[in-house]
Copies of this chain bind each other. A is one copy, B any other.
Amino acid sequence: MRYKIRSMVGRGQVEEQVKAPKGRGRPRSFDRATALEKALMAFWEHGYEATSVSDLTRIMGIGAPSLYAAFGDKRTLFEEVVRVYADTHGAFVGRALAEEPTARAAVERTLREAAVAYTDPAHPYGCLVVHAATNCTSPEIEELLRERRNRNIAALASRIRADVAAGRLPAGTDATTLARHTGAMIQGMSQQARDGASREELEALAEIATAIWPRD
């Protein structure tokens, strides 16, 4: 067990580095958060299995023992990467859900922002949670992201149900299907981005996708 350093990124102010908890032995020669971000990019682009430990050590600029000391094994590193991704690059979904007044507005904004995020040339295309653990030798890793995907859809469904209960959507509205449709659109858009679709094309997709919502 190894002490946690706050890997908070883009989460309010940066609160200028607690100078590392002044440990006792030889100080780490690399910035942990920076190395973690490099690992994130690698996993994002190539997925869990296709990113080897030697890929990681090369990209992160550290030796294998340093990686294992700082992050545990490959699987633990990946789990941390997924957590960081969800709190940063993948946070726009939860933000829309929390900030928009209606489920419909939240979904529209989510799809619109997904079109931008998934085609941003500053990082790999598409969504890490959607793509980084398909065709995996270890079922636990696959399950890790599958649960995250299904949890997102479930959260969206309950948000929609709340709107139905509040009369903001027609009484007969199928919240589950509507939520699943949004999930499918996000996954489809992510794949399209990986297959070369442009931001404009995904935005057009996002726009017509909301036509399925019940007329109010």
Interface residues, chain A, CB within 8 Å of chain B?
46-50, 130-137, 146, 149-150, 174, 176-178, 180-181, 183-189, 191-192, 194-197, 201, 204-205, 208-209, 211-212
Contact = CB atoms under 8 A, between A and B. Distances in A.
B197 A191 contact: no
Task: Specify how many copies of this chain sit in the oligomer.
Answer: 2
A40 to B, nearest CB: 15
Contacts of A49: 49-50, 135
Contact of A177 (B174, B187, B201, B212): B201
B204 A177 contact: yes
Contact of A208 (B136, B150, B177): B177
A199 to B, nearest CB: 13
A132 B135 CA distance: 7
Nearest 5 pairs of A and B residues by beta carbon: A47-B135, A184-B188, A188-B188, A177-B204, A211-B212
